Chains A and B, each alone.
Chain A
Amino acid sequence: MGTTPYANPAVYIVEGLLVFFILYKIISARRGRELFIRRITGLSSLDEAVGRATEMGKPMLFVPGIGGLTVVGLQAMAILQHVVQRAAKFLTRVIVPNIDPIMFTISEEISKEAYNAEGVPEQFDPEDIRYLSSDQFALAAGVVGIMHREKTATVLYFGEFFAEALILAENGQMVGAIQIAGTPSITQVPFFLAACDYTIIGDEYYAASAYLSREPTLLGSLVGQDYGKLLMMGLIVIGAIAVTLVSVAPWLPGLGWLNANFLRYFLR
C-alpha cells in the first residue's frame, strides 16, 4: 500500500543508468576498445592443474555444475573450451559429467571442436562426455564413482552448485586431486574454500569466463557492471549523507525535495 507495483521515476533513472553503462561498454568493447581486467588468482593455476594431470598421466574431471541451460552454465562451457584446448595439446583426457541433456550435447560439441582445433580429432573419446542423471544426488554419486575409478589427478568445478558441492569436493580431496572451483552459488563457496586448492568466489566467476575467453562482449559487460556497482555505492553515500543530515540539520534547504522526489522510492 502506498507503493505502486509499477515503475517510478527512480526506477527509470537508476535502471536506465545501469542499462546504459552496460550496453555502452559492451558496444565500445566490440568496436575494438582495449579493456582491462584484473588478474584473478586461481585462474593462472588452471594451466598448472592441466600440467599436473599430464605429468601423472591421469585424466582430468570437469564438472560443469548442476544448473541447466542458464548463463552460469554457458559460461562454464566457455571455461571448458579453454581447458579442453590446453588438455588436448598435451593429449590429456578431460571427463565431463552432465546433469542436463541440453548441456550434455553442448559440452560434447565443445570438446570435439577443441580437439579439432588442436589438430588431434582422433584423440577425442566421446565416452568422456557423459550424461549421468537429472537427479542432483544421483549425479553426485556418479561423479564420485568416476573420481575413484579413474583416479583423476585434477578436478575442476565451474558452474552452479548446491548441496552436492561438498560431496564432490570431499571425494576429490580423498583421491588426492588438485582441485579448482569457481561458482556464483554463494552458499557453496565455503565448502569449496575448505576442500579445494583454489576457489573463485561469487562475481569473480563471471569475470573468470571473460578473462579466459577474452570475448569483448563479456569484457565490456564486466566493465559496465563495475560502473553499475560504483553507481550503487554513490547512491548509498548520497542517501547516507541525506539521512544523517535529516537528523542533524533538518533545516537545510533541498533535503525535503531530495527526499520527496528521489529517496522515498528507496526508503519504504
Chain B
Amino acid sequence: MTTSTHHGLWSILWGAVVAERHGTVLALLIAGSLLVGAGILWMLMSVPTRYRKPVVMAVTFLGGLILALEFLAGSEKWHPLTDFLPTYGNVQMVIGSFALLLGIINLFMIHGQAVSKRTKGWANSLAFFVAFFAIMMAGFVKDYATAKAVSGSADSIFTVFFEGFLMPLSSTMFSMIAFYIASAAYRAFRIRSTESALMMITASILMLGLVPAGLYLTAWLPEPLSWLRLENLSAWLLVGPNMAVQRAMAFGIAVGALAVGLRIWLSLERGSFFDRQL
C-alpha cells in the first residue's frame, strides 16, 4: 500500500534527524540549533501585533489537542497518540522546569536590594542568600566532586541542611496550624445561626467519633440505641450526608472545570490577562 511507503520515507527522514551524534558533530548541531532557536525567537519578536493573538491561540489549541484526541479518537486499534504521551510528558516537564528561575529572580531582587541598601533587617536577607547557596552547593558538590573525601563531607553537610533544617522547618510550620485551629475553635465556632450550629455539631461529633474518646464516652448506650454511639454517628455522617454533599459539590466543580477548560482551550476566556493588547 502507498501509505506504508510514505510511512517508510517518513521514518527514514525522522531517523536521520534523531540519529545519535557525538563529538564535534554533536557540538556543531547543538550550537547550530541554538542559533536557529535564537533566530526563531528573533522572528517571534518581530511578529506584527495583529498576528500575535492567533499564534498564542493556535499554540494553546494544539497543545491540548493531542491529549483530547488521544482519548476521544483513540481506540484499541489506533493509539499512536497514546504511545507518544510519555515523550510529550517529558517535553512538558523539561520546558516547565526552565520556569524555575522566575521565582528565584524575584527573591534575589528583593533580598539583594535589602542587602545592598542595608535596610532594616538586611541581615535576614543575607541569611537567605547564605542558606540558598549553602544547600545548593552542598548538593552539587556531593554529586559531582570526584575526590571521595570532598563529596563525602558535602554529603554530610547536605544531610545536615536537609534533615536538620529544611525538614523540621517545613513540618514545624505545618504543625503550627494545630494551635490556630484550637484558638479558632474557641473564638470563632459560635452558634450564631442554624448554619454555624450545624457545622459545629457535625465537627464535634466527628472529632469524638474518629478517636477512641468517643468509643468510651458513649459505650454505655444500650444495644437498641447503639446507633447513637458517637463512632456510629460519625461513621454514618461521613458515608451518608457528608458523601452526598461532597458529591454534589464535586459535580458542580466537574462541570465548572469542563467549562473553564473549554474556554481556555478555545481561547474564549476573558479578563484583563486575556484581553490585553499583545
CB within 8 A of B272: which of A15, A77, A173? A77
Encoded as 1 (CB less than 8 Å from any A CB) or 0, chain B from 61 to 91 comes to 0000000000111111001000000000000
| Min distance, Cβ B253 to any Cβ of chain A, angstroms | 7
Judged by a CB distance under 8 angstroms, whether A239 is at the interface is: no
A6/B260 contact (C-beta < 8 A), A104-B106, A113-B272, A229-B252 known: no
Cross-chain contact B273 with A77 (CB below 8 angstroms): yes
Give the residues in chain A near B271, CB-CB below 8 Å.
74-75, 77-78, 209, 213, 215, 218
Residue B269 CB within 8 A of the other chain: yes
CB < 8 Å: which of A26, A106, A184 contacts B273?
A106
| Structural contact, A18 and B173, CB atoms closer than 8 A | no
Query: In whole angstroms, what is the CA distance A245 to B110 when docked?
Result: 67
**A116 sits at the interface (CB 8 A):** no
Let me know if A110 and B272 touch, CB within 8 A.
Answer: yes
Across the interface, which residues of B come within 8 angstroms of A206, CB to CB? Answer: 256, 260
Q: Does B278 sit at the interface, judged by CB under 8 A?
A: no
| Closest beta carbon of chain B to A31's beta carbon, Å | 13
How many pairs of residues, A versus B, come closer than 8 Å at their CB atoms? Answer: 134
Query: For residue A18, which residues in chain B have a CB less than 8 angstroms away from its CB?
Result: 255, 258
The verdict on A22 contacting chain B, using a C-beta distance below 8 Å, is yes
Interface centre among B203, B252, B256, B264 (most CB of A within 10 A): B256
- Of the four ranges (under 10, 10 to 19, 20 to 34, 35 or more), the interface on chain B belongs to 35 or more
Give Cα A75 to B270, complex, Å: 9
A137 interface residue, CB < 8 Å from B? yes
Determine whether the beta carbon of A163 is less than 8 Å from that of B177: yes
Q: Please give the distance in Å from A178's CB to the nearest CB on chain B.
A: 14
Interface membership of B52, Cβ < 8 A: no
User: Which residue of A4, A110, A166, A194 has the most chain B CB atoms within 10 A of its CB atom?
Assistant: A194
Interface of chain A, helix or strand or loop or mixed? helix
A131-B106 contact, Cβ under 8 Å, with A202-B249, A202-B252: yes
Q: How many residues of A contact B (CB 8 A)?
A: 58
Q: Does B181 contact A (CB under 8 A)?
A: yes
Give residues of chain A (12-60) contacting chain B, Cβ–Cβ below 8 Å: 12, 15, 18-19, 22-23, 26
Query: Do the beta carbons of A137 and B173 come within 8 Å of each other?
Result: yes
* CB 8 Å contact bits of A190-204 with B (1 = contact, 0 = none): 110111000000110
Q: Complex formed: what's the CA distance from A190 to B253 in Å?
A: 17
Task: Give Cα distance in the complex from A51 to B256, angstroms.
Answer: 32
Interface residues of B in 248-278 (CB under 8 A from A): 249, 251-253, 255-256, 258-260, 262-264, 266, 268-274, 276
- Of chain A, the residue at the smallest CB distance from B74 is A6
| Chain A positions within 8 Å of B252 at CB level | 202-203, 225, 229
Instruction: Judge if A150 is at the interface, Cβ distance under 8 Å.
Output: no
Q: Is the CB of B74 within 8 A of A225?
A: no
Q: Which residue in chain A gives the minimum CB-CB distance to B100? A: A134
- Beyond A202-B249, A218-B270, whether A6 also contacts B188 by CB under 8 A is no
Q: Which residues of B contact A78 (CB under 8 A)?
A: 271-272
- State whether the Cβ of A167 lies closer than 8 Å to any Cβ in chain B: yes
Given known pairs A7-B72, A23-B262, the reply for A225 and B256 (CB within 8 Å) is yes
Q: Does A238 reach chain B (CB closer than 8 Å)?
A: no
- For residue A97, CB closer than 8 A to chain B, the reply is no
Within 8 A of A (CB), among B98-118: 102-103, 105-107, 110
Q: How far is the CA of A81 from the CA of B170 in the complex (A)?
A: 34
Residue contact B188 to A173, C-beta cutoff 8 Å: yes
8 A-B contacts (beta carbon < 8 Å):
A4-B75, A74-B269, A77-B273, A106-B272, A137-B174, A173-B188, A184-B256, A209-B271
User: Lowest 10 A-B CB distances belong to which pairs?
Assistant: A137-B173, A228-B255, A134-B103, A194-B188, A203-B252, A217-B270, A71-B260, A6-B74, A101-B102, A101-B106
Chain B residues with a Cβ under 8 A of chain A: 71-76, 79, 102-103, 105-107, 110, 170, 173-174, 176-177, 180-181, 183-185, 187-189, 195-196, 199, 203, 246, 249, 251-253, 255-256, 258-260, 262-264, 266, 268-274, 276
